[in-house]
Amino acid sequence: MKIVFFGPPGSGKGTQANLLADQLCIPHLSTGDILRKKLKNEDDLQSQLKETLSSGNLVSDDLLNQIIAERILSNECANGFILDGYPRTMSQSDFLFSFMEKNNFSLDIIFDFKLDFKIVQQRIMNRYIEEKRADDTIEVIKTRLNKYIKETHPVSKFFSNQFSSNYFSIDASLEISEIQKELIKILKKGEN
Ligand code: AMP
């Protein structure tokens, strides 16, 4: 099963992607998590990444494309994967489409988490208090939301056209367990 999650920061897509990955026994490829892990390496990339992540701006398309291509081709993704946080720009989307064509695979399901931006801001502030993430402050939230609207929303729109029969909008204001049930219901329907 090959799944892509779209949704603004704070929409809960990471939590749901994690739960679903456990359930389906496939890897959860969260590019945010992958980049935060790279921050721990003491190399040239570290300081560059630190600056970009803490400002809420996007890391270069080339780096993300390379990371994702490597992971998808690795054995861990033999039975599928969940992409969370990628593709985030039209350039990443173009790369993914040509990569899929070259490697002869497609995507099974697209979940697009929809949430009012006021709730997004509140949720991220709560996460800032709980997790102390450096990129969860009010100024950075604004940058991240603007990036989402400008760069990622056009990508999710493009996916909704390309995968019209397996694209699903999800009401991200619901409780975690309700959203989980909804995702499973959609997956089960797809099996019939
Ligand atoms: P996330 O945890 O998905 O909100 O990602 C945290 C940060 O990692 C983002 O604000 C970006 O700086 C960076 N990032 C994650 N995924 C991507 C991507 N696909 N392209 C560019 N930057 C990314």
How far from chain centre, in Å, is Cα 153?
12
The predicted structure's pLDDT at residue 126: 83
Q: Which residue numbers in the chain have pLDDT < 50?
A: none
Smallest CA-to-CA distance from 156 within 86, 100, 95 is with 86
- At residue 133, φ and ψ (nearest 5 deg) are -75, 130
The predicted structure's pLDDT at residue 130: 83
Compute the distance from residue 192 Cα to the ligand 1 centre, in Å: 35
Closest-lying ligand 1 atom to the alpha carbon of residue 56:
10
- Rounded distance between C-alpha atoms, residue 155 and residue 94, angstroms: 10
- pTM, to two decimals: 0.94
The predicted structure's pLDDT at residue 137: 79
Compute the distance from residue 85 Cα to the ligand 1 centre, in Å: 6
- Rounded distance between C-alpha atoms, residue 150 and residue 177, angstroms: 30
Compute the distance from residue 94 Cα to the ligand 1 centre, in Å: 17
Residue to mutate, 35, 64, 65, 90, ligand 1, most ligand atoms under 8 Å from C-beta = 35
Instruction: Find out whether the beta carbon of 7 lies less than 6 Å from any atom of ligand 1.
Output: no
Reported as type and span, the H/E element at residue 61 is helix 61-73
The predicted structure's pLDDT at residue 192: 65
Token readout for 164 is: 């019209």
The predicted structure's pLDDT at residue 83: 98
Instruction: Find out whether the beta carbon of 13 lies less than 6 Å from any atom of ligand 1.
Output: no
